[in-house]
Amino acid sequence: MAADESNQEDDGMVPIGLGCANEEFKEVLEVKELLDSLPNVYNDQIAMETMRGSKVVVRLFPHEVVDVEPVLALLYKQDPKDFEAAETRYILLLWLSMACMIPFDLVRLDSNVVQESGDMRLPVMDRIYNIAMEYLTVVDKSRNAAAYLMSRFMTRPDVKKRKLTEFMDWALKFIENAEYITMTGADSLTGVLTTIGLMFKHGKREDLLQYAPTVLEKVVRQNLYECNNNRLRKYGVKVVQRLGTTFLPSRVAKWSKEAVKERIAMETTNGNEEDDDEDYDIPEEMEEVIEMLLTSLKDKDTIVRWSAAKGIGRITGRLPKELADEVVGSLLELFNLQESDGAWHGGCLALAELGRRGLLLPVRLPDVVPIVLKALAYDERRGTYSVGAHVRDAACYVCWAFARAYEPKEIAKYVNQIASLLIASIFDREVNVRRAASAAFQENVGRQGTFPHGIDILTKADYYAVGNRTHCYLDVSVYIAEFSEYTEALINHLADVKVHHWDSIIRELTAKALHNLTEKLPEHMAKTVLPQLLTHTTGLDLHSRHGTILAVAEITHALSSVAEQKNKTIVDMIDKGIIEDIKGIAAKMAALSAIQPLCNEYYQISPGAADHRIQEMMIEKYLRQLRASQEITRQGHSLALGALPEFMLRGKLRPVLAGLIQATQITDKDQKWAEGRRDALKAITRCEHVMCSLVQQCCEKIDRTRAHAGNVFSALLYHEDVCKSLNWAAPCDTFPLFTQLIKYPTYTYSVILGLAVSVGGITGFLVKHSSAALHSYLRNVAKDIPEMTRITSTITKVFKDYQKVDRVSLPMLKMLDQLLSKGCFDSLIQEERYCDLLQFPGEVRRMCLSNLCIFLCHRFPRIRKTTANKLYEVLVTYDDIAPEENVEELMTVLSETLWDEEIEKIKPVRNNKEDSVYDFKISSTVFARHITVK
C-alpha cells in the first residue's frame, strides 16, 4: 500500500475514487439506456444552457467513472457535418468535459478489447484527445464545447505529461498559418484561440509559462485587431489577457484596498507589521500585453472592449503600485474629445473593473470623478440621431462600482457630484440608462448613506418607476424637486442641456417639466432661467430654437399661475424687458406648440376674447407670409395658422381659410412646393378631422390612449365636465357609447377603423366588450337594409384602404369572421342557413369557391389541408352548394386526397387531367360543372 501511495504521489494524482475504479461497473447498462433516451431531452438542456450559461449547467452533469465510456462512444457515433444534431454533440462534449475530470489516471480505464477490424482499441486518453481535436475546427456551437473540453482535459496531470507539448506545437503552427479572411478559416482559428485562452485560465502557471512568450508572438504577428471578425478580435484579447496573468505571479497586490483592509485587521489582531515591499519580476512582454489591451478598449465592438476591460482589471491587480498607477494614467488618456465613443465606453468599463476590484485608489478620485460626470452626459450628435447611450450606461456602472469600493468618508466630498446619477435616472432619453443610473444611485444610498433624502427618493424613483419616460419628467422630477438640495440642479440641467436635445419629444417633455418645476423656484426661473433661454430663441440651431421657445412659453404660463396665487401680476414676476422679448416671439417665429400658450397668456383681454389690435396684426402677418417667396416660410406660417387658439380666429376664420386654400393651389412659380401645399392642407383639415381622429382613438385597443382621447372628446363637446363618472379606459363603458356614432356617416369610417383593431385584438377582456357592443348595434339596425348596406360598404372601404397594413387588416379579418359567424349580416341574404362568405348567393359565392380551389394547390401544405377540410365542412353543412349527385364524389376526393404531398402530385387530382377516375376538376371550373350557383 505504501508503494502504491508513493507511486500515486509521484504521478501527481490524488487517491480518490480508487474504490470505484477497482469495482465492477454494474451501472454501465443503466447509463447506456439513459444515453439512448437523451436525444429527446437535448433541446431542454440547450434551453437551460442558454438561460443559465454553460459554466453553471456543466456542473450539474453526472461525472462518475461509468459515464466516461458511454458518452465517448456516443460522441464517436455522431457526424460532425449533421447540423440537425448539433445540439446533441454540444451537450455530449460539455458532459465529457466534466466526466473526463475523474480523479485518477485514465490508463486505468483502458482495456485490451479487440475491435472488429482486428486492431486494439485506442486508449481513452487518445480517444478523448482525438474527438476534441475533431470538433475544434467545426463551424457550429460544438466548437465552443470542444474548446472547453480540451482546456479541462489538458490540465489533468496525466494528460499534460503526454499531450500538452503535442497540442501546443499543433496550435502554434495552426495560428501561424491561419487565414481568417474566409469564414471557415475564421471559425477554425476562433476554436483554437478559445482553447488556448481557456487552457491558460484553467491550467497551472508553472506548466504553461514556458509556452506564453511563443503564443504571444504568434498572436501579435497575426494582427487580429485589424480583422473584421469581432469574435476573432474578442478571443485574441482573451488570449492576450490570460497570457498577461500567466507572466505575472498569481497574487493580490498589497496596495489594493481589499488587501489593505485585511492587513489592517491582521495587524490589529496580531500586533505586528509586514513589509509592504515585494520583489516583482515584470517580464518585458507585459508592456506589449498592456498596450494591446489598452488599444482594444477603443475597439468598435462592445464584446471586445468588455473583454479588454476585464483583462486590464485582472492584470493591474498583479502589478506593483507604481506600474498600476501608470496603467490608470494611460487609461485616463482615453477620455478626450478626439477619441471615439467606443474609447469612452471602453475606458468607463475599465474604470469600473478597477474600482470593483479595489485597484482605483482614493488618491485618483479627483481625476476620475470629473471624467465620470462627463461620461454621464455624453451624447454626440450624428445627423438625425446621436450616440452615447452605451457610454452613459458604462458611466453608471462606474458609479455603482464606486459605491462598493470606497468608504463613506473617502467619497463624502464627491457626493454632490455623484448625485448627478439622480438626474440621469429621470431625465435620460434611454430607458436602460435610466434604470442603470437608478440602480447605481440605490447602491450608493445603501452602502454610502451620505446622499440627502436617499431612501425617500428611492421609494419614488425605483427601477420600475423610471421605466416610463413621461412619468419621470412630469411626476418623479416634481417629487424630487421638493428636496431643496436637488431642485436647482434639476432645473439647470433641463434649461442647459435638455432644451437643446436633438429629439423633439425630449424637448417637449422638458418644457412641460420646467412648467411643473416653476412653482418650486419661481424667482430662479424668472431671474435666471428665462433670460438665459431667451438668448437661444433666435439662434441658428433649430433644435435649440424650438426647445427654448417651448420652454419660455411653459415657464411664462407657470409664472402667471404663481403670480395669480400670490395676488400679483405677471409684471411683478418678470422684468419688463423680458416680457417685451416674450411678446415678440410669437410674431417672429411660427413655433406651433408655443403659439397657443403665448396667445392665452398675453393676447386675450378677457377669457375667450382676443386683443383686436394684436389679432389683426398676427393674422395679417401670417396671411401675408402665405405668399412668401420661400417654401419653408409658407410651411411655418400655414402650420402656425392651424395652431392658433379659437379666440384668435373668431371673426377671422373666412379670410384665414381663403388664404390657406389659395396656398394649396398650384402655380407655375411654386409647382414644386409640395410640402408647402401639404402644410396648408394640414391647417385647413386640422379642425375638420380632429373629431374623427378622436373618435377613432376612443375605439382603439390601448387603454391609456382610449382614456385620454375620451377625456379630450368630452371636453370638446361640453363646457363643463359632465362625464366624470365615466371611466374612459374601461371597455365596458366606452364601446357601447361610441358604437352609437356609427349611425352618423361622418363618424362611421373612424368608428369602424377603431373597432376593427379592438374586436380583432388578442386581449380577451377588450375583445369581449368591443365585440358585444358592435354585435348589439348591428342587431338593432339589422332590419334597416339601407343602413346595413352603408355599414358594409364602409367596412369594405376600410379594408381596401388598409389591406397592406397588418396592424389593421389582420384584426379586420378576425372581426369579419365574428360578424359573419354570428349572423350579423343575415338580413342581406336570401336564406338563413348559410355561414361565412359562402352564405352570399350569386357572384360572391362563385368568387369565394374559386379562390378556395386555388388554395388547394397553395405552396404551404397546411393551407392546402385547411382548405380541403373547410370545403368538406361546407358540403356537409349546406345541401344547396352542389347537386346531390356530385356531393358524394366531391367529398370523397376532398377527404381521401393527401393534401400535404408535393404540389406536382396534387395538381393532377385537382385538375383531373391525368386521373380518369373522377369526371370533374377541383378547380375554378368545378362549380360550373357540379355546383349550382344561385
Who contacts 128 (Cβ-Cβ below 8 Å, separation ≥6)? Answer: 72, 96, 100, 106, 149, 153
Helices (H), 519-645: 522-524, 530-534, 542-565, 570-573, 576-588, 592-602, 612-625, 631-643
**pTM value surpassing 0.85:** no
Question: Do 450 and 441 meet the contact criterion of CB atoms below 8 Å apart?
Answer: no
So what's the pLDDT on residue 45? 59
Q: Which uninterrupted H or E stretch holds 382?
A: strand 380-382
pLDDT at site 591: 54
Res 13: pLDDT: 40
* Burial of 876 from C-beta contacts in 10 A (0-12 / 13-18 / 19+): exposed
Q: What is the pLDDT of residue 117?
A: 59
- 479-533 per-position pLDDT tens digit: 999 998 899 999 999 999 999 998 889 999 999 999 999 999 988 998 889 888 8
Classified as helix, coil or strand, 275 is coil
308's CB contacts (< 8 A; 6+ apart) are 237, 241, 293, 294, 296, 297, 299, 346, 350
Residue pLDDT, tens place only, 245-288: 999 887 766 777 555 555 455 544 554 444 444 556 788 889 99
Strand partners, 387: 380
pLDDT < 50 stretches in the chain: 1-26, 40, 263, 267-268, 271-277, 586-590, 830-835, 913-934
Q: How far apart are CA 312 and CA 331, in angstroms?
A: 9
Q: What is the pLDDT of residue 474?
A: 93
User: Nearest CA to 900 among 850, 857, 852?
Assistant: 857
Please give the full DSSP string across 484-496, using - where no structure is assigned.
HHHHHHHHHHHHH
What is the residue-wise DSSP string for 678-728? Answer: HHHHHHHHHHHHHHHHHHHHHTSS-HHHHHHHHHHHHHHH-SS---TT--T
* Residue-by-residue DSSP string for 419-461: THHHHHHHH-SSHHHHHHHHHHHHHHHHHH--STTHHHHHHHS
φ, ψ for residue 715, nearest 5 deg? -65, -35
What are phi and psi for residue 275, nearest 5 degrees?
Answer: -75, 130
Q: What pLDDT score was predicted for residue 399?
A: 92
**Which residues are registered as beta bridge partners of 606?**
609
Classify each residue of 415-429 as buried b or exposed e, where b means 16 or more C-beta atoms within 10 Å of its C-beta: eeebbbbbbbbbbbb
Write down how long the chain is. 934
- Report residue 905 CA to chain centroid gap: 46
Distance (Å, whole) CA 771 – CA 758? 8
The pLDDT value recorded for residue 605 is 78
